[in-house]
């Protein structure tokens, strides 16, 4: 196998791998920009994956089969929003410690999805999943075509959402409010911004994206559902937000880096190169830790009030 | 929209009461501000001035009482309601988002710049330009807040509030971080603005109060204890009314009897957070029982100097030392143990742990010593006794010593720090802006304490922007400019004018500055 085919194999598997991470991390970016740290991302993804899978599973042989994927995506996004709002209720309204509430949400999502799956489905079953949509013309470009322009609709939309979320965050009044309540909620409050409402909105957005990320896993990537389908990607997404300094472009970079590293690891295993399997699996995670340790923390750019509840009548 | 155009001819608060856990912050306060009036609100730290103003802004809800504008009762549930009525406030702590530009900060609070899916930054810039020309308040709309000096941020706050359409302006200690020149400019500006709007002006500096206001109200323990016309008052009479006794700021008048040289800073260079040399060859020494005043416009290296001495910033070259002990680049712990006391500039983040109680903050540097612990355990009884003693002698006003230090008023936080540092009997004390934002009574108290320390032989570095403070207390005055000491002169030779020129970086022909 030539180097070129090896690289193109690694990339054409790695790039689609990054979609779920990218969506979840962009969602977490909105949460954190508003000052809320949502460790429950993993749980929302599990629910999203399950709800994305269910219509496709039940409607497989019915006349409605054509709508199953759309239905699954909508259900996953809707459930994501609801879980995001539930998290907002706990952390913004009731001011529960965000780390603990996040672990709770992770358990809730993961447990519910697994239980429902065992009750209604039982064993691992494949579904047709999202068809790939080669872009006419572009997908015929040698090497690059199959790598970049033969993915499914959700993947294209996810990459498109990178500039969109940049625009939302930096060029719209909504984004301005999100950044303000995450950096200096008291100042935002004195300027008439509703801190609570803005944080609810950010968490709804974060939930939506995490739900969609889950749906991508079951519908677009694995084309099935299993209990452990999310496999820690929700936590990696949280790490990627720090890695990406709360900026969509860097988060895209981080998601790509991580998933390409993972695909590289798979590729060398397939090639049978003698390398302990466990180390190969660890590799991408080690990469994120190393990069996180090396990037300097920047107080100027990040949300300074991350993780803290806001209380108007409290001084500290 | 009718409300927007309506002029505020009078604003009254009637019987406003506000309680916080364990504190009665406002106790049935009634006040009235008429058209084009400037009301000065003064009172000791913790008297309830800020609380009352926050209630006017809809930020706090009063427990009792009512607010009337032009005779009609209004209720402000959120700051938006107060803005809609035309009230605007410049807060004691800047309310600007540091990682946003000036224009973004203005656009954030002004819904007219919020278009569908688009932020009208051009509109915000234009509004800023208009306001800054109209009131001659120069600001750069595209500068990030964190890049601006304190004085510039103050100006941005004012412009921002005016951009929101304020016709009734509340200024909560706007001058506490300004240089003397900036303060003078602000006072001129406020006088001009009072032709168009009513202003409430809060300050601890009574000379400013008499210069700018036509009515004055004094608060004490949440009550109005005096209200009347300013023209009948002088700064001294106001101080007496405020504290209940005549205030005489103590003066250091026993010059040139200092002991041997005790603390020295030799050719120190150090970098600022932004990477340039904030200290560029600083060189001075302090004798036993001497106060060296360091005058200068803030931002010329004062903060960095204090930090290198306290071990919080690394020294690139040069040395800092006491006899028999080299302090250069030692850890803060070693420096503390060597007998250095430190009153930092930012009392909330460096001076105390806001969520710790007062008694814990008072032993923050010594909790592990034999005095306050037994083996691995804290001795809570001694901690408590120590706190009660210091609370008494430093007159710290708090519901109890178990209260979180962060909930105290600024002046009382400063007293907690001072109590902790002075009780340790330091050999060298670095005090950075020790009376910033403090009332007359507290200022008098702190000045007395510093002079007492001096008499006991402590070498003191007093960093301040207040020329009066420096000239009253210091034995010698050093002037810092752009990271260098321009000159050190005995304080009896220093005049306001000569120091003012040196602070602006002018060394030649400074009258009174010749040797
Ligand atoms: N949010 C709060 N929670 C608890 N106590 C508070 C709060 N705000 C103010 N207080 C208390 O209310 C009293 C009045 O405080 P306030 O800030 O109004 O004083 P101030 O007159 O503005 O003082 P300063 O001159 O130091 O600014 C103080 O005893 C303070 O500790
Ligand atoms: Mg105040």
Higher pLDDT: B372 or B282? It is B282
Structure letter (DSSP) for residue A220: I
Cα–Cα nearest to B464, from B503, B513, B441, B431? B431
Residues B143 and B119 in one domain: yes
Q: What does residue B328 show for φ and ψ, rounded to 5 degrees?
A: -55, 125
Buried b (16+ CB within 10 A) or exposed e, A220-232: bbbebbbbebbee
Chain-chain contact of B60 with A193 (C-beta, under 8 angstroms): no
B254: pLDDT confidence band, cut at 50, 70 and 90? low
Residues B150 and B291 in one domain: no
Q: How far apart are CA B336 and CA B316, in angstroms?
A: 21
Q: How far apart are CA B45 and CA A279, in angstroms?
A: 62
Q: How far apart are CA B301 and CA B473, in angstroms?
A: 21
In a domain, A313, yes or no: no
Q: How far apart are CA B408 and CA B417, in angstroms?
A: 12
Rounded average pLDDT over B274-297: 91
The answer to whether A268 and A280 are in contact (CB under 8 A) is yes
Ligand 1 midpoint to CA B438 (Å): 13
Q: Which residues line ligand 1 (CB under 6 A)?
A: A 313-315; B 20, 23, 25, 43, 45-51, 92, 407-411
* Token pair belonging to B449: 């304490």
Q: How far apart are CA B32 and CA B224, in angstroms?
A: 12
Task: Report chain B residues whose CB lies below 8 A from the CB of A194.
Answer: 78
The number of distinct structural domains making up chain A is 1
Q: How far apart are CA A251 and CA A239, in angstroms?
A: 10
Chain-chain contact of A184 with B109 (C-beta, under 8 angstroms): no
Higher pLDDT: B151 or B210? It is B210
The pLDDT value recorded for residue A225 is 95
Angle CA B334–B421–B244, to nearest 5:
170
Partner A contacted by B22 (CB < 8 A): no
Task: Report chain B residues whose CB lies below 8 A from the CB of A171.
Answer: 118-119
The pLDDT value recorded for residue B513 is 41
Q: How many CB atoms lie within 10 A of CB B348?
A: 16
Which of B97, B352, B416 would best serve as a mutation to test chain A binding (most A beta carbons within 10 A)?
A: B97
In a domain, B118, yes or no: yes
Partner B contacted by A296 (CB < 8 A): no
B245: pLDDT confidence band, cut at 50, 70 and 90? confident
In a domain, B252, yes or no: no
Ligand 2 midpoint to CA A21 (Å): 47
Partner A contacted by B79 (CB < 8 A): yes
| CATH code (residue A70) | 1.10.3470
The pLDDT value recorded for residue A295 is 66
Task: Find the helix packing angle between A233-243 and A41-58, rounded to 10°.
Answer: 130
In a domain, A132, yes or no: no
| CATH code (residue B181) | 3.40.50.300
Structure letter (DSSP) for residue B101: B
Task: Report chain A residues whose CB lies below 8 A from the CB of B171.
Answer: none
Classify residue B39 as exposed, middle or buried by CB count within 10 Å of its CB (0-12, 13-18, 19+).
buried
Give the helix/strand (H/E) hosting A171: helix A153-171
Helix (H, G, I), strand (E, B) or coil at B24: strand
What is the separation of C-alpha B79 from the centre of its chain, rounded to a whole number of angstroms? Answer: 24
Residues B288 and B216 in one domain: no
In a domain, B202, yes or no: yes
The pLDDT value recorded for residue A301 is 66
Cα–Cα nearest to B158, from B122, B124, B189? B189
List residues bridging with B431 in a β-sheet. B343, B462
Best residue among B13, B16, B20, B56 to mutate for probing ligand 1's pocket (most ligand atoms within 8 Å of CB) is B20
How do strand B87-90 and strand B168-172 relate by DSSP bridges? parallel
* Token pair belonging to B132: 């800054």
The domain of A252 spans 3-122+148-299
Residue B55, pLDDT above cutoff 60: yes
DSSP for B249-266, please give it: -------S---SEEEEEE
Ligand 2 midpoint to CA B472 (Å): 26
Residues B234 and B129 in one domain: yes
B258: pLDDT confidence band, cut at 50, 70 and 90? low
Residues 371-410 of B with CB under 8 A from A: 404, 406-407
Q: How far apart are CA B398 and CA B413, in angstroms?
A: 10
* Token pair belonging to A298: 């920047």
Classify residue A78 as exposed, middle or buried by CB count within 10 Å of its CB (0-12, 13-18, 19+).
middle
The pLDDT value recorded for residue A2 is 82
The pLDDT value recorded for residue B387 is 93
Residue B1, pLDDT above cutoff 50: no
Ligand 2 midpoint to CA B196 (Å): 26
The answer to whether B322 and B263 are in contact (CB under 8 A) is yes
The answer to whether B418 and B442 are in contact (CB under 8 A) is no
CA torsion through residues B373, B374, B378, B384, sign: negative
The pLDDT value recorded for residue A298 is 52
List residues bridging with B73 in a β-sheet. B68
DSSP for B199-266, please give it: EEEE-S-HHHHHHH-SEEEEEETTEEEEEEEGGG--HHHHHHHHHSS----------S---SEEEEEE
The pLDDT value recorded for residue B192 is 92
Partner B contacted by A300 (CB < 8 A): yes
| Span between the terminal Cα atoms of chain B, in Å | 65
Higher pLDDT: B303 or A166? It is A166
Q: How far apart are CA A21 and CA A29, in angstroms?
A: 12
Residues B464 and B449 in one domain: yes
The pLDDT value recorded for residue A134 is 87
Ligand 2 midpoint to CA B437 (Å): 8
Rounded average pLDDT over B172-192: 87
Buried b (16+ CB within 10 A) or exposed e, B374-390: eeeeebeeebeebbeeb
The domain of B86 spans 2-243
Rounded average pLDDT over B168-172: 95
In a domain, B77, yes or no: yes
pLDDT beneath 50, residues of chain A: 299
Cα–Cα separations (whole angstroms), residue B90 to A130, A277, A311, B33, B189: 56, 62, 20, 17, 15
Residues B46 and B172 in one domain: yes
* Token pair belonging to A246: 């709360």
Cα–Cα separations (whole angstroms), residue A312 to A33, B4, B55: 19, 26, 12
Q: How far apart are CA A41 and CA A28, in angstroms?
A: 7
Task: Report chain B residues whose CB lies below 8 A from the CB of A180.
Answer: 97, 100, 108
Task: Report chain A residues whose CB lies below 8 A from the CB of B107.
Answer: 173, 176
Q: Which of B168-172, B195-199, B258-262, B509-513 has the lowest mean pLDDT?
A: B509-513
Average pLDDT of chain B to the nearest whole number: 89
* Ligand whose nearest atom lies closest to the CA of B91: 2
In a domain, B347, yes or no: no
Chain-chain contact of A173 with B114 (C-beta, under 8 angstroms): yes
Partner B contacted by A188 (CB < 8 A): yes
Q: How many CB atoms lie within 10 A of CB A142?
A: 7
Cα–Cα separations (whole angstroms), residue A86 to A83, A200, A306, B111: 5, 9, 19, 29
B80: which residues sit within 8 A by CB, 6+ positions away? A192, B58
Q: How far apart are CA A126 and CA B220, in angstroms?
A: 76
Last residue of a domain, one of B208, B243, B278: B243
Cα–Cα nearest to B447, from B293, B268, B310? B293
Angstroms from B272 CA to nearest CA on chain A: 15
In a domain, A143, yes or no: no
Cα–Cα nearest to B143, from B185, B177, B98, B179? B98
In a domain, A19, yes or no: yes
The pLDDT value recorded for residue A191 is 94
Residue B216, pLDDT above cutoff 60: yes
Q: Which numbered atom of ligand 1 lies nearest the CA of B48?
A: 18
pLDDT above 90 covers what percent of chain B? 58
CA torsion through residues B493, B499, B502, B508, sign: negative
In a domain, B460, yes or no: yes
The pLDDT value recorded for residue B394 is 87
The answer to whether A159 and B28 are in contact (CB under 8 A) is no
- Could you report the per-residue pLDDT of B480-515, keeping only the tens digit for each? 999 999 999 998 888 888 888 888 888 765 444 443
Residue B442, pLDDT above cutoff 90: no
Residues B280 and B194 in one domain: no
* Token pair belonging to B459: 């070498």
| Three-state helix/strand/coil letters over B126-146 | HHHHHHHHHCCCCCCCCCEHH
The pLDDT value recorded for residue B227 is 93
Last residue of a domain, one of B189, B212, B243: B243
The number of distinct structural domains making up chain B is 3
Residues B265 and B230 in one domain: no
In a domain, A31, yes or no: yes
The complex's ipTM?
Answer: 0.89
Residues B171 and B281 in one domain: no
Angstroms from B447 CA to nearest CA on chain A: 28
Classify residue A89 as exposed, middle or buried by CB count within 10 Å of its CB (0-12, 13-18, 19+).
middle
Q: How far apart are CA A263 and CA A10, in angstroms?
A: 6
Residue B2, pLDDT above cutoff 50: no
Q: Which numbered atom of ligand 1 lies nearest the CA of B54?
A: 18
Rounded average pLDDT over B200-210: 93
In a domain, A201, yes or no: yes
Higher pLDDT: B45 or B281? It is B281
Residues B264 and B275 in one domain: yes
- Could you report the per-residue pLDDT of A228-285, keeping only the tens digit for each? 999 989 999 998 898 888 999 999 999 998 898 888 888 887 877 777 777 766 766 7
- Could you report the per-residue pLDDT of B112-131, keeping only the tens digit for each? 999 998 999 999 999 999 99
Residues B320 and B458 in one domain: yes
Residues B268 and B307 in one domain: yes
Task: Report chain A residues whose CB lies below 8 A from the CB of B117.
Answer: 172
């Amino acid at each position: 196998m030539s180097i070129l085919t090896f690289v193109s194999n690694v990339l054409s598997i790695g790039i689609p791998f990054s979609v779920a991470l990218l969506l979840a991390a962009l969602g977490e970016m909105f949460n954190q920009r508003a000052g809320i740290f949502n460790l429950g991302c993993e749980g929302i993804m599990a629910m999203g994956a399950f709800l994305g899978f269910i219509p496709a599973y039940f409607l497989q042989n019915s006349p409605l089969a054509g709508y199953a994927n759309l239905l699954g995506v909508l259900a996953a996004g809707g459930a994501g929003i609801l879980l995001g709002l539930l998290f907002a209720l706990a952390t913004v309204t009731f001011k529960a410690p965000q780390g603990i509430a996040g672990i709770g949400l992770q358990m809730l999502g993961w447990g519910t999805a697994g239980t429902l799956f065992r009750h209604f489905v039982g064993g691992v079953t494949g579904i047709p999943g999202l068809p790939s949509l080669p872009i006419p013309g572009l997908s015929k470009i040698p090497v690059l075509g199959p790598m970049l322009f033969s993915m499914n609709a959700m993947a294209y939309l996810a990459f498109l959402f990178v500039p969109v979320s940049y625009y939302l965050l930096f060029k719209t009044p909504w984004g301005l409010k999100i950044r303000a309540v995450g950096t200096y909620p008291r100042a935002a409050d004195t300027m008439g911004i509703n801190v609570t409402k803005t944080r609810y909105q950010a968490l709804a957005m974060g939930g939506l994206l995490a739900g969609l990320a889950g749906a991508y896993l079951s519908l677009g990537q694995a084309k099935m559902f299993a209990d452990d389908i999310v496999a820690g990607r929700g936590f990696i997404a949280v790490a990627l937000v720090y890695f990406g300094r709360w900026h969509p472009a860097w988060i895209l970079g981080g998601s790509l880096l991580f998933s390409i590293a993972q695909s590289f690891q798979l590729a060398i295993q397939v090639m049978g190169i003698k390398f302990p399997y466990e180390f190969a699996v660890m590799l991408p995670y080690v990469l994120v830790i190393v990069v996180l340790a090396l990037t300097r923390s920047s107080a100027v750019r990040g949300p300074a009030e991350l993780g803290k509840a806001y209380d108007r009548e409290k001084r500290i | 929209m009718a409300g927007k155009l309506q002029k505020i001819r009078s604003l009254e608060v009637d019987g406003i009461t506000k309680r916080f856990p364990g504190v009665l912050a406002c106790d049935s306060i009634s006040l009235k501000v008429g058209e084009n009036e400037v009301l000065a609100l003064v009172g000791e730290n913790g008297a309830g001035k800020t609380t009352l103003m926050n209630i006017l802004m809809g930020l706090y809800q009063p427990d009792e009482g009512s607010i009337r504008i032009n005779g009609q009762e209004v209720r402000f549930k959120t700051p938006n309601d107060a803005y809609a009525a035309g009230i605007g406030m410049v807060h004691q702590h800047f309310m600007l988002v540091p990682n946003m530009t000036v224009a973004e900060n203005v656009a954030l609070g002004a819904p007219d710049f919020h278009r569908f899916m688009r932020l009208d930054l051009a509109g915000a810039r234009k509004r800023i330009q208009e306001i800054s020309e109209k009131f001659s308040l120069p600001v750069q709309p595209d500068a990030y807040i964190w890049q601006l000096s304190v004085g510039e941020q103050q100006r941005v706050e004012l412009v921002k509030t005016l951009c929101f359409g304020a016709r009734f302006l509340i200024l909560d200690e706007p001058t506490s971080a300004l240089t003397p020149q900036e303060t003078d400019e602000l006072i001129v500006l406020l006088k001009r603005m009072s032709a168009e709007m009513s202003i409430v002006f809060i300050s601890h500096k009574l000379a400013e109060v008499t210069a700018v206001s036509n009515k004055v109200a004094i608060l004490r323990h949440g009550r109005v204890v005096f209200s009347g016309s300013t023209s009948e008052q002088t700064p001294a009479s106001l101080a007496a009314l405020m504290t209940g006794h005549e205030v005489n700021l103590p003066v250091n008048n026993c010059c040139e009897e200092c002991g041997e040289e005790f603390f020295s800073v030799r050719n120190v260079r150090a970098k600022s957070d932004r990477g340039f040399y904030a200290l560029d060859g600083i060189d001075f020494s302090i004798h036993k029982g001497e106060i060296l005043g360091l005058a200068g416009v803030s931002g010329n290296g004062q903060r960095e100097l204090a930090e290198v001495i306290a071990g919080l910033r690394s020294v690139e070259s040069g040395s800092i030392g006491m006899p028999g002990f080299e302090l250069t680049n030692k850890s803060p712990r070693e420096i503390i143990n060597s007998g250095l006391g430190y009153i930092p500039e930012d009392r909330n983040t460096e001076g105390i742990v806001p969520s710790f109680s007062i008694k814990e903050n008072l032993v923050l540097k010594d909790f592990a010593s034999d005095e306050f612990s037994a083996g691995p355990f804290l001795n809570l009884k001694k901690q408590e006794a120590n706190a009660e003693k210091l609370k008494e002698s430093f007159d710290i006003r708090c519901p109890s010593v178990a209260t979180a230090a962060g909930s105290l008023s600024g002046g009382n936080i400063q007293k907690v720090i001072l109590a902790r540092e002075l009780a340790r009997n330091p050999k060298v004390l670095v005090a950075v802006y020790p009376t910033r934002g403090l009332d007359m009574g507290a200022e008098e108290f702190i000045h007395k304490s510093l002079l007492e320390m001096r008499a006991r032989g402590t070498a003191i570095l007093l960093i301040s922007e207040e020329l009066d403070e420096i000239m009253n207390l210091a034995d010698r005055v050093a002037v810092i400019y752009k990271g260098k000491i321009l000159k050190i002169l005995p304080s009896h030779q220093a005049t306001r004018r000569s120091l003012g020129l040196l602070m602006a970086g002018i060394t030649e022909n400074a009258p009174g500055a010749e040797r």
